[in-house]
Amino acid sequence: MEKKNINKKGGGTRTAAGANGKTAATKKPGKTGATGIIKKTDTTARPRRTGKTGPTGIIRETTGKIGLSEDGLGKGVAISKVETAGKKVDGKERVAAKGLKNPKAAGNGTHGKGGKRLPVILVTNDDGISAPGIRNLVEAVRGLGKIVVVAPDKPQSGMGHAITIGNPLRLQPMHHVFEGVEAWSCSGTPVDCVKLAVDKVLRRKPDLCLSGINHGANHSINVIYSGTMSAAVEASIESIPAVGFSLLDYSVEADFGPARKYVRMIVEEVLANPLDKHLILNVNFPAVPDNLIKGIKICRQAYAKYEEDFVERNDPNSRKYYWLTGKFVNFDRGRDTDVWALEHNYVSVVPVQFDMTNYVLKSKLEKTWKS
């Protein structure tokens, strides 16, 4: 009969007598507990604990990796915020603690001729990284700075300012999509794209964030629902000036040619004359030929809304489901609104902000409400 002798003082070995009477020493996998029995410890690799202790006293754990599938076999690039420049990750050299060197974007560096630092321009959208609108946006601003694209891997229209909190986010390199431009697809929302770009992809905070060009209008109340504009708003929250661009044409075959000229004109103006780190411009283009566009008009947001209609249908199991439809109704006839400008073939530019305080009402309440 085999006998086991456990060292109660944790002397470092555990012996087992076999049939031949000899003993074999094995390494102790854990510490001796109060009962004298050695506690087993998990020797597999664990995530680095980088989070802060929460109210429960439990440290939140993060792996410090992005772009990997759950089984670790994905094609994404694993990067850690604590790694330093010069180290290699999956065979790729780190540029800095928050970026990866992209061989295809070697000519798109942060310094131009004469050593002058080029502005870093973050580009995103809500129609997805393969949408024609974002390709036209990149081409419109090519040469104005170092362009880095981080955009959703699928359409995310109407997501507003949604963020992903219940699922992991993944980044995949998509450098082949835009020639000579570093590009990443993100599994999350447009706002997730901006957050990940600032925290994980970019070496430093960008000088400007551009979102679009959206397929469809984002004038008036659309700014509330728009993933395109929410990405721009998120950038502004991070003190990054931002511009959202939209074309009043939902077709995949929409002609972005006329819009590209005005995109470049507006971006050049914003870069040359920075007004405010919290700048957000909502720019919409009429879907007309270039010769019919009358120019740029600075506007206010029109008061309008959608009158929704939910179409009711039945599935094969006779269970009801609904499709959202409706029509856009403008209640504002002012000649200084974005709706009026677009109806009269102007490019509308509306300055917006994330501070939603109603200062006029605040002043009235301070005078009429008693504490």
Instruction: Pick out the residues of the known binding site for a divalent metal cation.
Output: 126-127, 157, 214
Q: Are 122 and 209 in contact (CB under 8 A)?
A: yes
The tokens for 220 are 């008036």
Assign 244 to helix, strand or coil.
strand
Extract the runs of DSSP E, i.e. beta strands, from 18-133. 23-27, 88-89, 92-96, 99-100, 120-124
Select from 203, 170, 197, 207 the least CA-distant residue to 101.
203
Select from 351, 141, 110 the least CA-distant residue to 267.
141
The two beta strands, 208-215 and 242-247, are: parallel
What distance lies between CA 233 and its chain's CA centroid? 12
Residue 198 dihedral angles phi and psi, to the nearest 5°:
-70, -40
For residues 200 and 170, give the distance between their C-alpha atoms in angstroms, rounded to a whole number.
11
Residue that the structure tokens 């209640």 belong to: 331
Q: Are 108 and 147 in contact (CB under 8 A)?
A: yes
CA angle at residue 305 from 301 to 310, to 5 degrees?
155
